[in-house]
Each structure stands twice: as structure tokens, then as C-alpha cells.
Amino acid sequence: MGSSLQGQVVIVGNQSLDTNVINTPNVNVANTPSVNVANTPSVNIANSATNPVPAEITNTPNVNIANTPSVNIANSATNPVPAEITNTPNVNIANTPNVNIANTPSVNVNQLTPSTVATGAGVSATANTNILSSSYAPPAVGKIRVTFAGNASGVLSIVIVSGTTSYVYALNAGNALTANAIYTFEIPVSSSYTYNIQYSVAATVFYQIDFIPN
């Protein structure tokens, strides 16, 4: 039911205000319809790092993840994936096949050690004649180390025998050795040849020949 105030004077404090509310419509809220929000559609609010949406989930139904498929998460140095592995099945290595190293070739370290193959002290050497009674035949590719001294100055040479032919090559660049001074030379050798030494003058000499395998 409406009401009207026509030409009424409203006194506020010590002042009066004329209020004209002629024809003010009535507002009836008795039968205002209800608003049903039971079936209000969901509102999807995007979640982001700059605008996180807090969520509180209660009374959610149980989720059965017993048969959930595996999820493969790529692991990288810049994005490592921490992993905690529990209840892993036992790994049976009882029947792992044996590795047979029985036929692995052995390395004989003694074969790599230099060995003395000829030596003599106070030996009378004839000029330009083989000093060894028989030329030395190396068992493999390697070196011979010749240590030599004579009581007379002369040129020491290596003799390489190929079949029935002998080749004589001077050591020390063909320069004479100083009398009573000791010299050492290393010469590469092969099992294809035999080897001997000669001195250019008659002298009493010391020599030692060692074979050094490669």
C-alpha cells in the first residue's frame, strides 16, 4: 500500500526541507521470485603462476589409481625430476650368465724387460772381423743396445746379415771411438736378420749386447 507526502515540511535540526514525493510508485517486494542457484553452471577460472587460484577440495569421491597408466616425465639437467622409489621388486641375479675370461691372452711382463744376449770382457778383437762367434738372431722386432769400449781408438760398426750377405755400417757417425772410453748405441732390429759387431783396429775390448723388445 503506497503513501504520499504532498507539501509536507520535514524539519532536520534547525532547518526545514520541502519534500515533494508526489506520485512515488509503490515497491512491492512481498512476492519477489527466488533465485535458484542449485544448477548454476560451473565457472572455469584459469590458473597461472601470476594469478593462482586457491582451491579447497572437500568430500571428494575416492579415486582408484591402482590401474592408473604410467606417466613419463622427461628428466633434464635444467628440470630434474626427483624420484623416490619404494617397494621395488627384487632383482634376481642368481642366474646371470658367467663371463669366461679363461682364454684372455696373458701379457708376460718379463718379455718386455731388456735381456743380455752377448757379453765379453778382455776379448781380443781382430780388425774388421766379427767379434761375436755367431751372429745374434732377435726373437722379434725391437732394439739391440750395444755397449762397447776398446783400449785402442777405432771405428765400431754394426754388421747386418741377410741370408749369406753381410752389410757393415759404422756407428758414431763413422768417427773413431776414444781409447778406453765406454760408448752405448741402440739399433732397431728385426727377426728377419742376424747381427754382429766389428772394430776397425785390433784391440782388447769390452762389449755387451742387450735385446729390448717393443
Return the pLDDT at 77. Answer: 73
* Cα(199)–Cα(127) distance, integer angstroms: 6
Residue 205 is placed in which grid cell?
775390448
DSSP symbols for 106-146: P--GGGGS-EEEEEEEEEEEPTTS-SSSS-B--SSSEEEEE
pLDDT at residue 196 tops 80: yes
Does the pLDDT at position 6 exceed 60? Answer: no
Average pLDDT of span 12-23: 53
Q: What is the pLDDT of residues 120-164, one digit of tens each?
A: 999 999 999 999 999 999 999 999 999 999 999 999 999 999 999
Confidence check: pLDDT of 22 > 90: no
Euclidean distance between CA atoms 146 and 131, whole angstroms: 12
Residues 29-66 have pLDDT tens digits of: 566 555 554 565 665 656 667 767 665 555 655 655 56
* Residue 86 banded pLDDT, cuts 50, 70, 90: low
**What is the grid cell recorded at 24?**
512515488
Residue 133: predicted pLDDT: 96
Integer-rounded Cα Rg, in Å, for the chain is 56
Q: Show the domains of the chain with their CATH numbers.
A: 113-213 (2.60.120.1300)
Mean pLDDT in the chain? 77
Taking CA atoms, 32 is separated from 28, 35, 127, 154, 173, in Å, by 8, 9, 142, 137, 127
Q: Tell whether the torsion through CA atoms of 166, 186, 143 and 206 is positive or negative.
A: positive
Q: Could you give the CA distance from residue 140 to residue 117 in angstroms, rounded to a whole number?
A: 13
Mean pLDDT, to the nearest integer, of 158-177?
Answer: 98
pLDDT higher than 50, residue 5: no
> What confidence score (pLDDT) does residue 173 get?
98
